[in-house]
Amino acid sequence: MDPSADTWDLSSPLISLWINRFYIYLGFAVSISLWICVQIVIKTQGKNLQEKSVPKAAQDLMTNGYVSLQEKDIFVSGVKIFYGSQTGTAKGFATVLAEAVTSLDLPVAIINLKEYDPDDHLIEEVTSKNVCVFLVATYTDGLPTESAEWFCKWLEEASIDFRFGKTYLKGMRYAVFGLGNSAYASHFNKVGKNVDKWLWMLGAHRVMSRGEGDCDVVKSKHGSIEADFRAWKTKFISQLQALQKGERKKSCGSHCKKGKCESHQHGSEEREEGSHEQDELHHRDTEEEEPFESSSEEEFGGEDRQSLNSIVDVEDLGKIMDHVKKEKREKEQQEEKSGLFRNMGRNEDSERRAMITPALREALTKQGYQLIGSHSGVKLCRWTKSMLRGRGGCYKHTFYGIESHRCMETTPSLACANKCVFCWRHHTNPVGTEWRWKMDQPEMILKEAIENHQNMIKQFKGVPGVKAERFEEGMTVKHCALSLVGEPIMYPEINRFLKLLHQCKISSFLVTNAQFPAEIRNLEPVTQLYVSVDASTKDSLKKIDRPLFKDFWQRFLDSLKALAVKQQRTVYRLTLVKAWNVDELQAYAQLVSLGNPDFIEVKGVTYCGESSASSLTMAHVPWHEEVVQFVRELVDLIPDYEIACEHEHSNCLLIAHRKFKIGGEWWTWIDYNRFQELIQEYEDSGGSKTFSAKDYMARTPHWALFGASERGFDPKDTRHQRKNKSKAISGC
């Protein structure tokens, strides 16, 4: 065997590897490259999975592998509180809310909408990470207050302007609290609802349900508008704390189904931000109307919301909406049935809600009221105190001979159907268009009214300046002015109450706001019946009295017509408000011909201090000379009337029908003893023996007449003027 052949056989594989070494190198290179690519892919997938498992809020805080302590609070950078207020209530709430937000170590700004330009600045809230709070009040006819008028106008126009679109405010977070009065049912909290709707239409995100404060203490969910705000504020602060932590907290709307809370199923933190925003936009497209009628986004049931938040065929959309509306109708019918059942139960048990709530009782007690039962009150008039000291009586003393120190001012109904701008009780009393409260008996009301009045008189015993004889007389009530507050004629047992007064030999002076014509027609005889004629045109009456009735003008006219057929003394009471109702002379003259009253009292409005319920200021109070000029011009338009009396101290004049001027002398005073005799004869005859105003008139003393040097002040008394006050302009 050849040894060289064996050597070749052993070396041939090595030679082959050497010859093909480049292919081997290439294979190794490709393998290493593939291994590196595989490792990169694995690491990339692992990083993506890690990012998905970490909430986006936490990712935003991650910077190069460590958490930045300086940026841990970027979920909420601050709170901006916008307010639109007419009387200061919303502004006060803004201050209270700001204090609560400050306690969370968040910067806060309070902004008057009157000084805010949404066209320039509202878009900034999209990226500011602020939470914007809007506290807006609803004013007359459901319109915004003057300070919020431009903001609301801009927001409304932007919401329907295609150039802005549905994503204009996408990213902005907001909450709304509205201030209103449910007595005006047709536009209760309308401004708050609109602001909420318009912001939503522009793509802003509502962080919590809209709050609705109610000035009507009877219907308020928490007893007062202040309590309504406190309840909403507590929820808002809780929601704000959740937002600070990066949580997407959503309150449960009590629509949980199958044992699962929809609040946790939907909108949870596990959803990506982009996915949530896409669903929200789709939600806006598929339910264009529903959110506007709700105070939150929680009106829909869980199944319906799930259907709307997912992809829906156009063909199926109608079925889904029909199902939603059907469920809503069934819910309303169920609530109506349950409400009817509750009302039946209340009627059977004779248990209705008391007019005076704890909050209302506290407010009225602070104002000096002595409250009686569940809906009545009595208070000592300042003229009663004045006459006890011999410092003069009220204008009724000058015009009609009332002994002011023996007059009890009371009401069997604290509720009223108007919210007049010059209400001297600052609208702390409830409002309503019908009696819907628990009712006390007239015997109890009168008994406690007299007792409370006497107790207040007793407090003046031994007070310096109080005349002993008048103190003793004051302990016996001789007159009752049913004009304290509210609408006495609303009380269902007003006729029984009047009869009880007359049985006690107490004269009756009843005032009504001309919104209950049927009750005026059915009213038993009173010593003197007043109707407040605060304006002479429909527009001015609506502006000044702010009535609750939609047909307020027709009711007003019908009340004047009902007054015309009354046989006893009737009076129009005109309250002049400068720049509001002093230029309507011809219209006033027409109203006089409609009701043909015996007397017309014309009085300048009394300014009783700043009120959160009225924009009235001292600028609206006419001077006494201006009232005299108005009366002179009015008398020229009503030929059957003349100026009879004047009470300068009260800024008031009396126009009387000429039938009370006998033999050149005025007989505007009342013979109270004769009235008691006539009313007794009327009652004994079962109402068949009637009498008229001229049957119990008395001659007016010279000092009370218009033009007398005393200007209506009784010379028996001593006029007392406060220091540094040379002229009385308001009659307060």
SS3 79: strand
pLDDT digits (tens, 9 = 90+) for 44-87: 776 665 555 444 444 443 444 444 444 455 789 999 999 998 88
Report pLDDT for 614: 54
CATH topology of domain 373-435+451-704: TIM Barrel (3.20.20)
More confident site: 688 or 331: 688
Report pLDDT for 412: 92
Range list of β-strands (E), 627-708: 641-647, 652-657, 661-662, 665-666, 669-670, 697-698
pLDDT at 531 over 80: yes
Longest dimension (CA), the chain: 176
Range list of β-strands (E), 586-636: 599-604
pLDDT digits (tens, 9 = 90+) for 462-476: 888 899 999 999 999
Equal CATH topology for 78-245 and 373-435+451-704: no
Q: Which helix (H) or strand (E) holds 137?
A: strand 130-137
Lowest mean pLDDT among 380-384, 528-532, 702-706: 380-384
Average pLDDT of the residues in 568-573? 96
Report pLDDT for 139: 84
Report pLDDT for 501: 97
pLDDT at 134 over 60: yes
Neighbouring residues of 171: CB distance < 8 A, sequence distance ≥ 6: 126, 127, 203, 205
Lowest mean pLDDT among 250-264, 317-331, 472-486, 510-524: 250-264
Contact in structure between 450 and 477 (CB atoms under 8 Å): yes
More confident site: 215 or 498: 498
Neighbouring residues of 85: CB distance < 8 A, sequence distance ≥ 6: 91, 135, 137, 145, 147, 148
- The structure tokens listed for 306 are 């799930």
Average pLDDT of the residues in 249-258? 43
> What are the residue boundaries of the structural domains of the chain, listed by start?
78-245, 373-435+451-704
Report pLDDT for 250: 53
Report pLDDT for 288: 39
CA–CA gap between residue 378 and residue 370 (Å, rounded) = 5
pLDDT digits (tens, 9 = 90+) for 340-378: 444 444 444 356 788 888 877 887 887 778 999 998 999
Report pLDDT for 310: 41
SS3 381: coil
Q: Which long-range contacts (CB under 8 A, 24 or more apart) does 297-303 make?
A: 297/206, 298/209, 298/251, 298/252, 298/253, 298/254, 298/255, 299/253, 299/328, 300/255, 300/324, 301/255, 301/257, 301/262, 301/327, 302/255, 302/256, 302/257, 302/260, 302/262, 302/265, 302/266, 303/257
Q: How confident is the model at residue 695 (pLDDT cuts 50, 70, 90)?
A: very high
| CATH top-level class of 78-245 | alpha beta
pLDDT at 255 over 50: no
pLDDT digits (tens, 9 = 90+) for 604-662: 877 655 555 555 567 778 889 999 999 999 999 999 999 999 999 999 999 999 999 99
Lowest mean pLDDT among 69-83, 162-176, 591-605: 69-83
Report pLDDT for 205: 94
Among 40-44, 218-222, 520-524, the range of highest mean pLDDT: 520-524
Average pLDDT of the residues in 261-289? 41
CA–CA gap between residue 262 and residue 252 (Å, rounded) = 7
For tokens 């009015």, what's the residue? Answer: 634
Report pLDDT for 352: 74
Among 225-229, 252-256, 279-283, the range of highest mean pLDDT: 225-229
Residue-averaged pLDDT of the chain? 80
Among 303-312, 614-623, 702-711, the range of highest mean pLDDT: 702-711
Report pLDDT for 578: 76
Average pLDDT of the residues in 203-209? 93
Q: How confident is the model at residue 12 (pLDDT cuts 50, 70, 90)?
A: confident
- Cα 306 → chain centroid: 37
Report pLDDT for 368: 79
More confident site: 349 or 703: 703
Report pLDDT for 268: 39
Lowest mean pLDDT among 92-106, 193-207, 536-550: 536-550
